[in-house]
Amino acid sequence: MEERKGAVTLKGSPVTLLGREIRIGDKAPAFSVLNQDMETVNSGKFSGKIRVIAAVPSLDTPICDSSIKRFNDEATRLSKDVVVLFISMDLPFAQKRFCQDNNIKRVKTLSDYRDADFGEKFGVLIKELRLLARAVFIVDKDETVRYVEHVKEIATPPDYESALEAIKKLV
């Protein structure tokens, strides 16, 4: 598997990402993750929708917490053709608790903890920690990646405005 050393940092320290770097224009790789009920969800379930896919280290961290809340709020203003997915290594039980405690209704949380399938295929799996690096991908209805942001310093938020602009261009 491809290793990208120092592709991003965590609190200033370089980390290694596993998997090929996804770029604008690539076909989005198919992947499998778990939903809050521990059921396998294949990415094909969201075919025909514009997908905002946010990879995050853990919902129980301040940046991830504020990111999911921001995207949840923004999702209420987006077309029904847009689905927002937050994928982390958090256990599905923890994701369910987080969403209930924080009234997250428009964002779907998915767990990659079992197989790291998403993390490896989207090139955001942190080798040293087995967590996902912070990144945002926007995939159109034809499975083409139209926007990518690999947040260079994992402990900082993504560029919300750029991601929202990219979504608006696809709707």
The residues that are catalytic are: 64
Distance in angstroms (rounded) separating the CA atoms of residues 164 and 37? 29
Q: What are the start-end ranges of the H helices in 10-159?
A: 62-75, 92-102, 117-121
Place of tokens 């094909």: 44
Q: Say which DSSP state 27 is in.
A: B
By CB atoms closer than 10 A (0-12, 13-18, 19+), residue 55 is buried
